[in-house]
């Protein structure tokens, strides 16, 4: 396979096109609800803390990723995804009953369910796409997934905000429910053949541990996942300085929205080129390059210049997706099909949980020290992480080897 531009091949693939269309629709609803839920709670209670609980409810299930991922390995993944989409579509309209602070328990319950389904769905999708999409196109496909989700984060919140302002929170929930029905229909059209998974006979804890042991014991995956988690930790620490950076620029706090938009645009662009970069560099080198670029971008934010701040935001947007595409494509390619759900969910937990920790710790550190001190330190730590990742790049590259899936796993129809 050459490093030529293969995105048209991905889009011509029927299964890939169907899935990406469904993802575009469902991601638009998810991004709209993400914004509206916090505003909804804030309007009902006046509490910033309770509004933040919305995000906590959606993120908390990720901590149970290894166990939840086991669900995706116990059943056929396509029917599971269809049922979960339809289940959320049925649950979201119950939010019409939320009319006062006393009804917020229902909103938080639905958001917790939402987050739980998202963890299981991510694990199921990892297994399904390896069956539905040509293995040599996985990097490009994962890059396009990143482009879609990041693109919807830029566009959909405006739709959600407008719908909320005009008709209230229940209308946004209804829109999200419709997007899940459409997504379920598109997933149902995928042409994949899946055999019923064979149970290992062990208990739930033992099955979960098998996925964790595979990921942590794999000489190629463990360094990549560790580098991904470290990058997200340091990235979230630096993200907590955004308002301090904006203040040093002499701008109003709303200017942070401009920086976020520029970063999002960088992420959209990164998704389009990540597949070609993965083929040319391999997983380790691509991850190391992304971490190094982010190191420079983070350290540069200490310079009180609008131009530098904007370029740094775009560079971070370009860098982080490269790291994530390298990590999760490697997990897909190097994990046997029967373990893929558990391994993917475990990787998600190890990569993204540090993000939550970093936001909490960083919020305290930014009160104690200037970003002129903190940002160069975060950048240095990222540069050391990039160097450690690159040193291993001379060995076998987990992202460049052929997938080791068992013959009993699902295959394209």
Mean predicted lDDT score pLDDT of the chain? 84
Hey, what CATH class is 202-393 in? mainly alpha
d(C-alpha 20, C-alpha 25), whole Å: 9
Q: What's the confidence (pLDDT) of residue 408? A: 31
- Which of the residue ranges 5-14, 41-50, 112-121, 158-167 has the most confident prediction, judged by mean pLDDT? 112-121
Higher pLDDT, 211 or 99: 99
Strand intervals (E) in 105-169: none
Q: 406: how many CB neighbours lie within 10 A of its CB?
A: 9
What CATH number does the domain located at 1-197 have?
A: 1.20.1250.20
Which of 74-83, 190-199, 235-244, 328-337 shows the lowest mean pLDDT across its residues?
Answer: 190-199
pLDDT in tens, 223-281: 999 999 999 999 989 988 888 898 899 988 778 878 888 998 998 999 888 888 888 89
What integer is the mean pLDDT of 117-146?
84
Q: Which two tokens stand for residue 4?
A: 């030529």
Query: Long-range contacts for 292-295 (Cβ within 8 Å, ≥24 apart)?
Result: 292/382, 292/383, 292/386, 292/390, 293/318, 293/319, 293/322, 294/231, 294/235, 294/319, 294/320, 294/323, 294/382, 295/379, 295/380, 295/382, 295/383, 295/385, 295/386
Banded model confidence at residue 203, pLDDT cuts 50, 70, 90: low
Q: Is 99 helix (H, G, I), strand (E, B) or coil?
A: coil
Q: Which two tokens stand for residue 60?
A: 């908390």
Higher pLDDT, 413 or 204: 204
Q: Which two tokens stand for residue 152?
A: 């919807």
- Which of the residue ranges 342-346, 355-359, 376-380 has the most confident prediction, judged by mean pLDDT? 376-380
Q: Is the pLDDT of residue 197 over 90?
A: no
Same CATH fold assignment for domains 1-197 and 202-393: yes
Q: 249 near 371, Cβ under 8 Å? A: no
Q: Is the pLDDT of residue 379 over 60?
A: yes
Domain chopping of the chain, boundaries? 1-197, 202-393
């Amino acid at each position: 396979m050459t490093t030529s531009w293969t995105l048209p091949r991905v889009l011509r693939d029927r299964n890939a096109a169907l899935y990406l269309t469904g993802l575009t629709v469902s991601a638009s609803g998810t991004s709209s609800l993400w914004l509206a839920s916090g505003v909804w709670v804030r309007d009902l209670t006046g509490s910033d803390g309770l509004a933040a609980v919305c995000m906590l409810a959606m993120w908390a299930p990720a901590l149970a990723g290894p166990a939840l991922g086991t669900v995706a390995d116990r059943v056929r993944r396509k029917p599971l995804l269809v049922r979960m989409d339809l289940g959320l579509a049925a649950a979201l309209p119950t939010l019409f009953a939320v009319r006062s602070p006393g009804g917020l328990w229902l909103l938080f319950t639905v958001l917790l369910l939402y987050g739980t389904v998202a963890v299981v769905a991510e694990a199921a999708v990892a297994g399904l796409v390896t069956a539905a999409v040509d293995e040599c196109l996985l990097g490009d496909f994962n890059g396009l997934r990143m482009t879609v989700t990041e693109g919807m984060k830029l566009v959909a919140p405006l739709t959600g905000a407008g719908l909320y302002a005009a008709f209230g929170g229940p209308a946004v929930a209804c829109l999200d429910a419709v997007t899940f029905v459409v997504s379920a229909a598109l997933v149902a059209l995928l042409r994949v053949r899946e055999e019923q998974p064979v149970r290992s006979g062990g208990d739930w804890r033992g099955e979960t541990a098998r996925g964790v042991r595979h990921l942590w014991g794999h000489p190629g995956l463990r360094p990549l996942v560790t580098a991904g988690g470290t990058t997200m930790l340091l990235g979230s620490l630096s993200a907590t300085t955004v308002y301090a950076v904006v203040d040093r620029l002499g701008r109003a706090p709303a200017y942070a929205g401009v920086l976020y938009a520029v970063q999002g645009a960088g992420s959209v662009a990164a998704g389009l080129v990540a597949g070609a970069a993965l083929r040319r560099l391999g997983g380790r080198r691509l991850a190391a390059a992304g971490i190094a670029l982010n190191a420079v971008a983070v350290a540069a934010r200490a310079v009180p210049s609008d131009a530098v701040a904007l370029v740094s935001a775009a560079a971070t947007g370009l860098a982080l997706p490269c790291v994530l595409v390298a990590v999760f494509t490697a997990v897909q390619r190097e994990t046997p099909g029967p373990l893929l759900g558990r391994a993917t969910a475990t990787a998600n937990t190890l990569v993204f949980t540090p993000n939550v920790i970093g936001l909490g710790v960083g919020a305290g550190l930014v009160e104690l020290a200037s970003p002129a001190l903190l940002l160069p330190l975060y950048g240095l730590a990222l540069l050391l992480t990039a160097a450690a990742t690159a040193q291993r790049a001379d060995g076998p590259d987990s992202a460049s080897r052929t997938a080791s899936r068992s013959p009993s796993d699902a295959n394209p129809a």
